[in-house]
Structure 1
Amino acid sequence: MPETLKLQINFSGGAELLFDKIKKHNIELPSVRKYLPDSKAEKWTIRELLVWIKGNLLKERPELFLQGDSVRPGILVLINDADWELFGELEYELQQNDNIMFISTLHGG
C-alpha cells in the first residue's frame, strides 16, 4: 500500500473564494494514522478529509464551508463526477487518484 494518498480537490461555484481563489489542488495525504493519531479510522474518508481541508486549505470563513463535521447545506460534493450520496457521503473511503469536487450552490443577492 502506498505511503501517501494522492487526490485532486476542486472548488467551484464560489467555494474557491474561501481557498485563496484557487480552484484546483493536487494533494498527497500521509497515512491517516500519522495525520490524525486519535482517529479510529484505518483509511481516509471524506470525514477525515474535511478535517484536513479545514487545517490545510481553508483560508477564511470556515462557517461558509463547514457545519459540524460535514459541509454546510448548499455545498454539492462530487466524487469522481458522481454525487457523494451514492457513495455513503462522509463514510466514503478515499481511493488513490480520486477527484473530489465541492461546488457551492449558494449565491448572494
Structure 2
Amino acid sequence: MVLVHLGVSGGLEPLFGCSDKDIQLPANATVRTAITWVRDNLLNGDTEHQFMIDNQIRPGILVLYNDADCELVGMDQALQDRDSLSFISTIHGG
C-alpha cells in the first residue's frame, strides 16, 4: 500500500466533501488507477459526471502529481508513498 495525499480545490470540494485527505492505494497504483479509485470511492452521490466524462477527467479540471501537471508527467506515473495528487477546477462561476 502507498499513502497518497489528495488535495481538492477550486470549487470541487462539494463533490468530495473535503478539501484534502490521505488515501491508501495498492502498491502498484498509478495516477490513472488513483483517479479511478477516487471516482469509485470518494465522490458524493451522483456527481461523477461533474468529475469525469467517458473515463476521462472533465475539461477544466487540472490534475497535479506532486505539484506537476499530469499532462507532462503522464497518467501512468507510478505513485510512491507520501506523493500528492491534486484536483483543481479552473472554471469558476462569477
Q: Tell me the TM-score normalised to structure 1 length.
A: 0.77
How far, CA to CA, are the matches of 2:78 and 2:56 in structure 1?
A: 15
- Confirm whether residue 53 of structure 1 aligns to residue 38 of structure 2: yes
How far, CA to CA, are the matches of 1:9 and 1:77 in structure 2?
A: 11
**Gapped regions of structure 1 (runs ≥ 5):** 32-42
Higher relative contact order (CA 8 A, sep 6+): 2
Aligned-residue identity in percent: 43
How far, CA to CA, are the matches of 2:55 and 2:77 in structure 1?
A: 14
**Gapped regions of structure 2 (runs ≥ 5):** none
Structure 1 runs of 4+ aligned residues shifted over 2 Å read none
Give 1 or 2 for the bigger CA radius of gyration: 1
Q: Tell me the TM-score normalised to structure 2 length.
A: 0.89
How far, CA to CA, are the matches of 1:108 and 1:62 in structure 2?
A: 19
Please state how far the C-alpha of 1:82 moved relative to its aligned partner. 1.3
- Confirm whether residue 26 of structure 1 aligns to residue 22 of structure 2: yes
- Confirm whether residue 107 of structure 1 aligns to residue 92 of structure 2: yes
Normalized per residue, the structure richer in strand is 2
CA RMSD across the alignment: 1.4
